[in-house]
Amino acid sequence: MIQLQTFKKIREYEWEIPTSYRGDMRQPVRVFATRNLLEAALGDQSFEQAVNAATLMGLAGPVVVMPDVHQGYGFPIGGVAATRYPEGIISPGAIGYDINCGVRLLSSRVELEAARAEINLLASAINQRCPSGVGAKGVVHLTQPELDQVCRQGARWALKKGMAEEQDIRRTEEGGCVEGADPAKVSRRAKERGQGQLGSLGAGNHFIEVDVVKEIYHPEVAQAMGLFEGCLVVQIHCGSRGFGHQVCTDYVQSFQSVVKRYNIRLPDRELVCAPMDSPEGKDYLAAMRASANYAFANRQLLANAARQAFHEVFAVKTRNWQLSQVYDIAHNMGKIETHTIAGEKVKVCVHRKGATRAFGPGTPGLPLEFAPYGQPVLVPGSMGTASWVLVGTQESMERSYGSACHGAGRVLSRHQAKREVRGEQLKTELEAKGIQVRAGSLAGLAEEAPVAYKDVDEVVKTVVAAGIARMVARLTPVAVIKG
């Protein structure tokens, strides 16, 4: 059993579970955390899952764990693993069921003080235009050929349909389209689920939030991003809906026999995987990329709907009502990247599950205006608490495969939260703080109560103090829309 004394302190905010802990570990586990966050995570199976992940075939370096870590399916949420490409493995459980769950941030010049009387109307307008809830239908229903186009083109499909701006594409990770997607590798059931859900929020921890830029810590970077203190911004947090969930389900099931075929031994069947250069591994990568593109398009359509809501509420009274894209970034993805590991440049597949890409300054592929500062990192808090905008650093490239945290991280399961929190009371408390709430389900609202999550400020301060991210701005909510 993993205890506090299991960890070796590497430096301030960085700990290690060495390979000597268990004989089947191929690599150590590196954890970014304060002592307080480390002790809190011992309450679930997060670190046991990280140790299990450290046994995977073809790992190029340590398994990295972020301070918002909590227990997931097989692989911890808040975990990062890099396997050598193409001879290493690809594991669906180490990417997650909600493929390309991520966050989009839109900024405005609408000042909260001037718009405070309109926030209630704005929350209703966004809620009306952005379908949410379990199984919710999207704003468009795709034909089969259209769905295949979305799978190949991602957010660029929305641009062709007039539901995106050029800046949206340029300021989205991978330009909103991951190459190598193949809808032919996606099951019929996944496509059936995906045809009707594009442009919908879903349920669980997904949300749309209207926030105000409360504090700016790096004015030069904030200005490049279009963030202004006291002005409204919109966060959209969702992923690939039932489409991506079904893709993961299909491949987790099929890989149960694949591991036997390739004689892969695992300490946990939820870590099922396949060699990346095997036919099965290539099929999953192609289907995962199709799901990722679906998610990019999904957030794009929701952004378009949020713009319509802003237009309806503010266009008559406010000249500068427009919403501009800051960035869109994934936190459940497998990406082929090159990293320097132990002094050697290595091509790897970086599995990020509940972890955000946080590339440092000058990294190829960043929008030109962000290149001097690093990749934007969007870290939503729990409902009713702060969210953060960060940028990646050179140290993140050297120590965490260019990765940082993705949120606050759960401390209570959804069932525990529902037992301890009454949704109606929580709604009343949030609205007493000046936060408008639109929720399809009070039980669903209770699941996402702030008490169910770690302190996002402590999580962010940890990655900043560890040197793998820098603060840009702190956001606080004025309206929350949930399924």
Residue 78 lies in a domain: yes
Residue 1: per-residue pLDDT: 86
Residue 45 lies in a domain: yes
Catalytic residues: 406
Among 380, 375, 247, 237, residue whose Cα is nearest residue 299: 237
Q: What is the pLDDT of residues 18-69, one digit of tens each?
A: 999 999 999 999 999 999 999 999 999 999 999 999 999 999 999 999 999 9
Residue 317: per-residue pLDDT: 85
Strand partners, 373: none
* Torsion 80-84-86-90 (CA) sign: negative
What length is written for the chain?
Answer: 483
Q: How confident is the model at residue 381 (pLDDT cuts 50, 70, 90)?
A: very high
Kindly state the DSSP code that residue 324 receives in the 8-state scheme. E
Report the distance separating Cα 435 and Cα 438, nearest Å: 10
> Do 231 and 107 touch, CB atoms closer than 8 A?
yes
Write down the mean pLDDT value for the chain. 96
Which uninterrupted H or E stretch holds 447?
Answer: helix 442-447
Residue 27: per-residue pLDDT: 98
Q: How confident is the model at residue 148 (pLDDT cuts 50, 70, 90)?
A: very high
Q: What is the pLDDT of residues 76-86, one digit of tens each?
A: 999 999 999 99
Residue 383 clears pLDDT 90, i.e. is over it: no
Domain limits at 66? 4-88+99-411+453-482
Residue 147 lies in a domain: yes
> Do 411 and 42 touch, CB atoms closer than 8 A?
no
Residue 248 lies in a domain: yes
Segment 369-377 shows an average pLDDT of 98
The SS3 call for residue 325 is: strand
Residue 431 lies in a domain: no
Kindly state the DSSP code that residue 416 receives in the 8-state scheme. H
Which uninterrupted H or E stretch holds 155?
Answer: helix 155-160
Q: What is the pLDDT of residues 330-367, one digit of tens each?
A: 999 999 999 999 999 999 999 999 999 999 999 999 99
Residue 376: per-residue pLDDT: 98
Residue 446 lies in a domain: no
Q: How far is CA 4 from the centre of its chain?
A: 28
- CB atoms near residue 116 (< 10 Å): 12
Residue 136 clears pLDDT 90, i.e. is over it: no
Among 403, 374, 372, residue whose Cα is nearest residue 391: 374
> Do 453 and 382 touch, CB atoms closer than 8 A?
yes
Among 450, 415, 437, 452, residue whose Cα is nearest residue 483: 437
Segment 132-152 shows an average pLDDT of 93
Strand partners, 392: 469
Q: Encoding tokens for residue 250?
A: 């299909």
Residue 262 clears pLDDT 90, i.e. is over it: yes
Distances in Å between the Cα of 239 and the Cα atoms of 23, 288, 295, 314, 325 are: 37, 12, 5, 28, 17
Residue 123: per-residue pLDDT: 98
Domain count, the chain: 1
Segment 270-288 shows an average pLDDT of 98
Residue 133: per-residue pLDDT: 86
Pairing status of strand 469-482 against strand 436-439: parallel
Among 458, 352, 367, residue whose Cα is nearest residue 95: 352
> Do 336 and 156 touch, CB atoms closer than 8 A?
no
Residue 421 lies in a domain: no
Report the distance separating Cα 103 and Cα 378, nearest Å: 7
The SS3 call for residue 164 is: coil
Q: What is the pLDDT of residues 432-462, one digit of tens each?
A: 999 999 998 888 899 999 999 999 999 999 9
CATH code of residue 164: 3.90.1860.10
Residue 380 clears pLDDT 90, i.e. is over it: yes
Residue 31: per-residue pLDDT: 98
Report the distance separating Cα 90 and Cα 284, nearest Å: 8
Residue 250 lies in a domain: yes
Report the distance separating Cα 244 and Cα 189, nearest Å: 11
Residue type, position 110, single letter: V
Residue 441: per-residue pLDDT: 86
Q: How confident is the model at residue 300 (pLDDT cuts 50, 70, 90)?
A: very high
Report the distance separating Cα 288 and Cα 285, nearest Å: 5
Among 228, 215, 220, residue whose Cα is nearest residue 372: 220
